[in-house]
Amino acid sequence: KKTFQGPFQGCHGVVNPQEFYRHCLYDVCMSDGDKRTLCKVLEAYAATCKNKGATVKDWRTPAGC
């Protein structure tokens, strides 16, 4: 999030990450840091990006999903 680099960098200009980030923080905190929850949130962001035509690189490996 800090540098907006990484697998989602091609998406940030197409889909604003702020709302997804807020939901991610809430969902992961409410699930006591459950990795599956993090992966679901990232998957939703990736799908939204792809649906809008943005290129998303491999995010599963760095995120451990």
Model pLDDT, residue 3: 56
pLDDT band (50, 70, 90) for residue 6: confident
- Rounded Cα distance, 17 and 24, in Å: 10
C-beta separation of 64 from 25 below 8 A:
no
Q: What is the pLDDT of residues 13-51, one digit of tens each?
A: 899 888 888 988 899 999 998 999 999 999 999 999 999
Looking at residue 18, its amino acid is: Q
Answer with the residue of higher pLDDT: 1 or 26: 26
DSSP state letter for 57? -
Model pLDDT, residue 4: 64
Question: How many CB atoms neighbour CB 53 within 10 A?
Answer: 9
Model pLDDT, residue 2: 52
